[in-house]
Structures are given as structure tokens and as C-alpha cells.
Structure 1
């Protein structure tokens, strides 16, 4: 599809983004907004995404729309269903967008899109076995194995944020279960894990902000000893998940992305590596060089027919 442009959308629980992307990966007309959390139904999200697409499209021409969305997804119905981090049980996407713009709409999970984006234009170009992980409001993943993007039966292969990592604290996850990785190391989970860890250690509340992952990780980066001690506990939890991922996919490379990884990826990696199992060789672990745009580029690649 040389010379072709597509509209790419990255729909997350907190923010959405859209852009016009060419077949050689050039991005233009970028727009973003806050994902609606109030309204009668998920159609308020659908309308917001549609308005973003209209803004990007303008007078330009596009061959298709690629949508990378937080899941779980119903690919047959073309919608988001029962997402633990979105405010609505259902967000219709494919049908309404196709009807509004008269273009084919190709939907995939945002983390599967992230893996595709990294392989197309990021750290994993030329890599046939990789795992992409996003650390954000939630935690998700996507894998390319033997050069093939893994989608699973219904497009939801790679929901690694719901790997079971702990029975000691048994923290509740947004999905309704306990002990999942997302409940400990995501943007929403980390402050709760810190509070539980602090209580278990019988330690006093620190002077730094503990209400956000940014506050906790920022304190650790500045050398705060209490935050540093917590980083070792967090590193052990993260390493349990990554050890499972390495066993499951045997990747050559693991790419970390999302706001948490973009801001503090090196700090996280430093505390993960000592706790990793060594049953299989440790892959290269790095932060995405795409500045958070891997899912957007992956959505474009998917719309362009790249797999």
C-alpha cells in the first residue's frame, strides 16, 4: 500500500489519540483527548473517537481506520466489552466508525498493536520473537512469536496484567479477582500496594506523595530510602510476571512502554532483573524509543495490512 495513508486511533482508559499515518510511518494531524468517563452509555466514547477521526481526516484521504483499544475486545461485534479500567461495559467502535466515515475499520487490542508498532518502527525492527508490555492505568501485553502477531481466539491473547503474581497481600484487581499483576504495578495498583506494604512493615507514612505511582517512583529516583525499599518489593512482583512471560513466549526482546515505563523504565528494570528466574535465557529488556506512540503506529500498520 505504498503511498497510502490511514487513520490510526489509540483508545485507552484514560486518554485517546488519533493521527494520519502514511505507509512509511510518518505521523501528522495528531490529536488527543481524555476518554469520557461519564454518560448514559459507552457511545459517548464512540462519539469522542469519531470526532477525533473527523478532526484528523479533514480534507485528507485515507484508505482505512485502524483502532487500537484497551480490552477485552469482541472482534466479531467490533466493540470493547467489560473493560476493568473503562467506565462503560460496552463501547461500540467498528460499526459506528465505518458507517460515519465510509471506510473499513480494523480493530485490535492496544497492546497487540504496540507489539506491531515496535516491530514496524520501534526497538524490535527485524526481531521475530518479542513481547511488548505497557504499564499504564492497567497493564497489558502483546507478543510476536516466530514473526507472527499472536491474537488468540478473540483477539485477547496477551492479557498479562491478569497473571497471578501474589497470594500474600492478595490485592483486589479491577477485574474482580485478587493477586493479579495489575493490582500491584499499574498506575492505579501501585499506590494500593505501597499502602499495604507499608502497613505490613508497620512503617509510618512518608513525606512524599504516595497517592500516585509518579510520586512513589519519583521518590525512589531521588534516593528516598523508604521508596527504595519498596522498589525491591515491587521489583520482585514485576519479576514474577516477567519470568512467567519469558517462560510462555521465550522472547528475544521485551519492550516496556506506557507512562510509567516512559518516566521510570530504567529504575523498574534495575529492580526487576535481580529477581528474574533463570530457567530460560534473559532477553534484552528495554524501554520503547517511540515515546508512547507504539500502539498508534501499530494501529496504522494493522490498517495498512501489515501483520
Structure 2
């Protein structure tokens, strides 16, 4: 299958032409200065056409456009239910109509973490598995779940994609979702600067000299033996491990896939989380395995083909039911 794919991150949009398990051409559009999604739709269309030209393909051969969006998405209706303060004008846009009118293609939308899980099962570290949890660590903490080979979506389209909003500290930090002590509030990219600066010894840390605080700096300074960095890294590891056990108890996966930008520190993160799961997860059948995502930033883009194939399968079943 040939498809167009968009992965709408908070600061950039990944655009790609995908054939089966291969990305033929891709590009990234910076969106930090954009006034809204509507203002950059013409640029997105131009970029997709350019990528088609580069790959030697054409629109007529494409099965559709798949979009991974950082919010709550009802994939049954392609409706954006919540933008989570990203691309806030998106709820007012009919992207399916735009895709049909401008590209001549049908459109399917899904939460970006679910798209990433589809990609990992299709072409990455979850191939051949039907019961999988994915946790993405980055600016926020995303989640997605597959049970018996099908994405878990729920009655209101938010099942499992709020995997970073499980409370790990009921007297903890206020989360952007309004809850107290969510894993995301305790150990995500947006929360990290505040967590570091609140450390009693922050003024003596090498981190105090940094103009910007992020996980790359945290792990680098921890590797250099900085006490504050070591303490905060340990705190984050414990939060991620506790959240992983909660996800295992909730969804009963064979494997937990961990992805996102923070996985540059996978050599520290994965053994710690696996050891914690071995000690504390209640799984009478055995022990779930913790794996790193293989596809990196391409995971959601490669989720386009299985997402569009899912729609085709549903259409074929509906047609067969009518004929019967």
C-alpha cells in the first residue's frame, strides 16, 4: 500500500510518503511560529506533493492520508475531541474535507501515540505481537494499548492514550490535565525544569549554569557525577518504572514498548524499568518484557499503512454484511 502520512508533533510536523514498511521520502515542518494548523495547511499540501515528486509516485496511486495528532481523536469519525493546547484551531477544521478537496484522498486520523504503536507493530519492535503497551517519554508522557491485535480506544476515544496521567504521587505536582501527581507531572520534559530547580542543592549543581534544562543535559550531568542530576534522574526512573507497572496491571501486555526522545538514555532506563517490573509487577503467567521502540521519529509515520488498512478492512466487512 502507498500512503501519505503526517505526524503532528508539538513543535514540528513530520510528512512522509510511505509504501508498506518503507518511508520513500520524508520531511519535517517547524510549527512553533505558526498561528494555527489552518495557516499551514497549504504548506503541508505543497510538502506532500514535493515528497511524492521526489519518490517518483503520484496522488492517484495513494490509498489515503493518515494523520497522527497530539490529542484525543475519535478515529471512527475523524473528529478532534481535545487538542491538549496544541493546534487549538484544529477542532474547527474539517481535515477530511480539506484532504478530499486539495489532495483528492480520503483521510484517517488517530492519536499520535496510537499511530506510533501501529507503526511499531507493523514494522518495528512489536512485530508479531498482539498484546502490547507503548509508553512514549518526551515533552509529555503518551500511551497506547493493543489487545488481541486491536487498538484500545474506548467509548469516548481516550482509553489508554492517557497512560502518562496515571497518578504515581497523590500529594505530588499539579498536572496540566488537572490531576495531582500524574507520571507526566512528575517526570516529563515540560515538568523537568521545575523539578530540577526545586532540588535543595540546585544552586551548587552544574545544571544551574545551563540556560535550558532538558533530559539530555540531565543524563549527561548525571554521567559526570553531578549530585542533583543523579537525584533527579533517579526520581524520573522510579516514576517511569512505577507507571510501567500500573500500565501492566491495567492492560496485561506481553511487552511494553518504550519510545520518545528520552530513550537516548535507554541503556540506563530499560534495565532499571525491567528490574522494577521483575520485582513488582503482578503477572501470574510470567514477566512482561520491556523493549525500546525501534523506529524512533518514524514510528507514527509508518503507522499510516495499518491505520488505512484498518479502515479498508472495516469497509470490506460492511460491504459483505450488506450483500449477505
Q: TM-score, normalised by structure 1?
A: 0.87
Match of 1:271 in 2: 272
Pairing partner for 1:99 from 81, 101, 112: 101
Segment of structure 1 superposing worse, 267-276 or 231-240 = 267-276
Provide, for residues 73-129 of structure 1, a one-character-per-residue CA deviation record: whole Å limited to 9, x for no partner: 244663434333515253533332222111110111111111111111111111111
Measure the CA separation in 1 of the matches of 2:23 and 2:227. Answer: 42
Measure the CA separation in 1 of the matches of 2:78 and 2:44. Answer: 14
Pairing partner for 2:291 from 272, 279, 286: 286
* 1:138-177 → structure 2 map (5 Å cutoff): 138-158=140-160, 159-168=162-171, 170-177=172-179
Pairing partner for 2:257 from 250, 255, 258: 255
Aligned CA distance change for structure 1 residues 221 and 273 (closer, same or farther; 3 Å): farther
SS of equivalent to 2:310: coil
Measure the CA separation in 2 of the matches of 1:254 and 1:231. Answer: 21
Measure the CA separation in 1 of the matches of 2:115 and 2:11. Answer: 17
Q: How many equivalent residue pairs?
A: 297
Measure the CA separation in 2 of the matches of 1:57 and 1:65. Answer: 13
Aligned CA distance change for structure 1 residues 178 and 37 (closer, same or farther; 3 Å): farther
Higher helix share: 2
Establish whether residue 70 from structure 1 lines up as the match of residue 66 from structure 2: no
SS of equivalent to 1:305: helix
* 1:58-137 → structure 2 map (5 Å cutoff): 58=53, 60=58, 61-75=61-75, 78-88=78-88, 90-91=90-91, 92=93, 93-137=95-139
- Where does the alignment leave 5 or more consecutive residues of structure 1 unmatched? none
Deviation at 1:222, TM superposition (A): 3.8
Segment of structure 1 superposing worse, 292-301 or 152-161 = 152-161
Measure the CA separation in 2 of the matches of 1:36 and 1:97. Answer: 23
Measure the CA separation in 2 of the matches of 1:45 and 1:74. Answer: 23
SS of equivalent to 1:49: helix
- Where does the alignment leave 5 or more consecutive residues of structure 2 unmatched? 314-324
Check whether the contact 2:139–2:189 (CA below 8 A) recurs between aligned residues. yes
Pairing partner for 1:19 from 5, 16, 19: 16
Check whether the contact 1:6–1:300 (CA below 8 A) recurs between aligned residues. yes
Match of 2:50 in 1: 55
Measure the CA separation in 2 of the matches of 1:16 and 1:232. Answer: 32
